Structure 1
Amino acid sequence: MAKTMPKFKGKLVMGANGRTNPLVWLVAIICTVIAVAVVVVGIAVFIGYMVIHPRVPVISVNNAHLDLLRNDYAGLLQTQLTIVVTAKNGNARAHASFSDITFNISYQGQDIAVLVADPFEVPKNSSKDLSYVVQSSSIPLSPDQMEQVGDAWKKNEIEFDFTGAARTQWKVGPLGSVKYLCHLDCDLKFRPLNGTYIPSRCTSKSH
């Protein structure tokens, strides 16, 4: 004979007089208040974000100069560069903070230097310049790389790889903030004969 499984039905906790226990009402009210607060905060953050959204903070190479470029027959390269990185906050309604700032400069896969900066804030609709003087130790080059340096002298154009990243954040009133991660990946080109920088678009992408 098959056994029937017992069935359980939920039952509201009742008081002695048959009415709903006040504790249940208290819990229900608290849950409702929390749910409404979450919705209100979400709406406020969204509205604040839509107000300040048009301009995302960016980092870009504003200027640079090749101070020194020297290579010898032993295959050693020495270089010194001055690089100006600009952190720009084009938002007219909110300050922006920049943190976790790291840049790397290299030549033909050979690392030259890692550049960092302490966290800082940029006022609304303003910018801040970070100036770096990068001096490399002697970099050993392969025969192919030595040939590329020779070609760079002949063409009067040499190229360095510049990559980096920074975290940016906007405050949306007292209720929240909007965060972005800026990535920078570009080539810095110079004229070896006089060290001048060949301007190019070198601006971060945010997500």
Structure 2
Amino acid sequence: MHPRPLPPEPSSLYSTPDPHSRTATPSPLPHVFATKNSSKHTMSPSQTPQHLYQGFPKTRDRLLLRDHRKTDPVIWCCAIICLIFSILIILFGITTLIIFLVVKPKTPVFDTNHASLNVIYFDLPGNFNGDFTFIANFTNPNRKLNVRFEYAVVELYFDSNLIANQSIKPFSQRERETGVVKIHFISSLVSLPLNHAMELRRQVLSNKVIYSVKGTFRVRVSFGLLHFSYWLHSQCELQMSSPPSGFLMARRCITKR
């Protein structure tokens, strides 16, 4: 008897397909089926992109397709005015810088070479009286600039105590001009702290009185049609001999802006 043939084994899911087999392998990609409504999105000749996006949400792409409004002429005028104003400021700054580099402005100088201490006395322990004459020299060292002292106040100090002050009338100086102003300080019943009054008495007895003169000025500089102003501060430390014929023994003056 011939043995009965065994039934064919069912194909395994993990078996390797026969390379000579012609059985079609299903594609892993899903089939794409066209819907009946796909024809609705077909652009007709009469339709525009704006009509196509009517059914879509408002996205950035749709907003970019909108027609932009024209800029208001008023905004253009304001922008042009700002541009012109900025250009003028830049040109003015460059012109000023060039003038400063060419002219090289210098600060006026406040100094002295003569002063006299006439009177110092106390009618009470703390009440000071004095008479002091100060010759101020104002010098304009610039070669191409005129200066004008529009405001000038000079103060007399002893050991940080204000004992007299004097204002000066406005005056002008041309290039490289030097002017002399006589300032007369009179102190009457000036109250001094007791320790400062005693120090002043000691200096008078030692024939060496230390005074300080401070000046505050507002200077205006002119160069053609250009003008600019600034504040000037000066200080002179003076060493005087004792009154009644006190004279200037030494000085140190500083002028700065």
On whether the aligned pair clears a TM of 0.5, the verdict is yes
Q: Identify unmatched segments of 5+ residues in structure 2.
A: 1-57
Question: Counterparts of 2:214 and 2:93 in 1: how far apart (Å)?
Answer: 35
Does residue 177 of the first structure (1) align with residue 227 of the second (2)?
yes
Higher mean displacement: 195-204 or 179-188: 179-188
Task: Tell me what 1:68 maps to.
Answer: 119
Specify the code of the residue in structure 2 equivalent to 1:165: T
- Percent identical among aligned pairs is 22
Task: Tell me what 1:111 maps to.
Answer: 162
Does residue 13 of the first structure (1) align with residue 70 of the second (2)?
yes
- Give the superposition deviation at 1:134: 1.2
**How many residue pairs end up in the alignment?**
198
Shift of the 46–7 alpha-carbon distance from structure 1 to 2, 3 Å rule, reads farther
Shift of the 33–67 alpha-carbon distance from structure 1 to 2, 3 Å rule, reads same
Q: Identify unmatched segments of 5+ residues in structure 1.
A: 15-20
- TM-score, length-normalised on structure 1? 0.76
Kindly indicate whether the alpha-carbon contact (under 8 Å) linking 2:129 and 2:188 is maintained by their aligned counterparts in 1: yes
- Give the superposition deviation at 1:196: 0.6
Question: Counterparts of 1:188 and 1:199 in 2: how far apart (Å)?
Answer: 6
The 3-state SS of whatever aligns with 1:135 is strand
- TM-score, length-normalised on structure 2? 0.63
Specify the code of the residue in structure 1 equivalent to 2:190: I
Task: Tell me what 1:192 maps to.
Answer: 242
More strand by share: 1
Does residue 85 of the first structure (1) align with residue 162 of the second (2)?
no
Query: CA-atom RMSD, angstroms?
Result: 3.5
Please, which of 150, 153, 156 is the counterpart of residue 207 of structure 2? 156
Question: Counterparts of 1:52 and 1:188 in 2: how far apart (Å)?
Answer: 34
Task: Tell me what 2:183 maps to.
Answer: 132
Kindly indicate whether the alpha-carbon contact (under 8 Å) linking 2:140 and 2:177 is maintained by their aligned counterparts in 1: yes
Question: Counterparts of 2:252 and 2:93 in 1: how far apart (Å)?
Answer: 37
Question: Counterparts of 1:110 and 1:101 in 2: how far apart (Å)?
Answer: 20
Question: Counterparts of 1:172 and 1:7 in 2: how far apart (Å)?
Answer: 59
- Give the superposition deviation at 1:190: 0.5
Question: Counterparts of 2:67 and 2:250 in 1: how far apart (Å)?
Answer: 73
